[in-house]
Amino acid sequence: MSFDKQAQHIALILSDVDGVLTDGGVIFDNEGIETKRFHIRDGLGIKLWQKAGLQFGIVTGRSSNIVQIRAKELNIQVVRQGFEEKLSVVREVIAQSQLSAEQVCYIGDDLPDLPVMQHVGLSATVADAAVDVRKAASFVSECRGGYGAVRDLIECILRAQGRWTEIVQRFSTTSS
Ligand SMILES: [Mg+2]
């Protein structure tokens, strides 16, 4: 099935964090507190996606406070941290959202993401993902993880759904 066809039905995007919403780097301070770097364009993309009445969630194998803070900032309700085996938690999230797997897009970057990518309606990844993940994905962003790949995915889905032009128009000022 083509990307445009798969994208029509997507109502929920679930995203991995490390290597997707970040460049995969994890920084520890002297107290052992973990920090990560997020991209502002991904943030706006997530907000626009939500504003279009669609859902966004996070599923990550690691667990850190910084992810909670970023999720809160972006009003992301679905945040599942500390699940190395992601498929069962994704199944649970899909059931709770009362959606079918065909309505869900998952974006990941490494081997633990493969089972989820094979389960959902649209599988996506970043430009610098693991080779096998790039091979398995229906959508490979031209952007690297942490450099706007999620924004790119959101734009492409909304374009396929015929909603992107209207969103851009909201940002254009009309002079009269
Ligand atoms: Mg990852």
Distance 162 CA to ligand 1 centre (A): 30
Whether the Cβ atoms of residue 110 and residue 62 lie closer than 8 Å to each other: no
Distance 171 CA to ligand 1 centre (A): 32
What confidence score (pLDDT) does residue 175 get? 52
Distance 109 CA to ligand 1 centre (A): 5
HEC readout, 13-82: EEECCCCCCCCCCCEECCCCCEECCCCHHHHHHHHHHHHCCCEEEEEECCCCHHHHHHHHHCCCCEEEEC
Question: Cα(120)–Cα(98) distance, rounded to whole angstroms?
Answer: 14
Tokens of 72: 């809160």
What confidence score (pLDDT) does residue 84 get? 86
What is the residue type of 158? L
Distance 59 CA to ligand 1 centre (A): 10
Q: What is the pLDDT of residues 135-172, one digit of tens each?
A: 999 999 999 999 999 999 999 999 999 999 999 999 98
Tokens of 74: 């972006």
- pTM for the whole structure: 0.95
Distance 163 CA to ligand 1 centre (A): 29
Q: What is the pLDDT of residues 80-112, one digit of tens each?
A: 999 989 999 999 999 999 999 999 999 999 999
Confidence grade of residue 174 (pLDDT, cut at 50, 70, 90): low
What confidence score (pLDDT) does residue 109 get? 98
* Mean per-residue pLDDT over the chain, rounded: 96
Distance 147 CA to ligand 1 centre (A): 14
What is the third-level CATH fold of 3-171? Rossmann fold (3.40.50)
Distance 33 CA to ligand 1 centre (A): 19
Averaged pLDDT, 104-125: 98
Distance 20 CA to ligand 1 centre (A): 6
Domain ranges of the chain: 3-171
Q: Which long-range contacts (CB under 8 A, 24 or more apart) does 72-80 make?
A: 73/43, 74/43, 74/46, 74/47, 74/50, 75/47, 75/50, 76/46, 78/14
Distance 112 CA to ligand 1 centre (A): 8
| Strand 27-28 to 34-35 pairing | antiparallel
Share of the chain above pLDDT 90, in %: 95
Closest CA to 55 of 86, 77, 79: 77
Averaged pLDDT, 22-44: 96
Distance 146 CA to ligand 1 centre (A): 11
What confidence score (pLDDT) does residue 1 get? 80
Distance 51 CA to ligand 1 centre (A): 26
Whether the Cβ atoms of residue 45 and residue 56 lie closer than 8 Å to each other: no
In 3-state terms the chain splits into helix, strand, coil percentages (rounded to 5) of 45, 15, 40
Residue 3 reports pLDDT greater than 90: yes
Q: Which residues are CB-contacts of 51 (< 8 A; sequence separation ≥ 6)?
A: 167
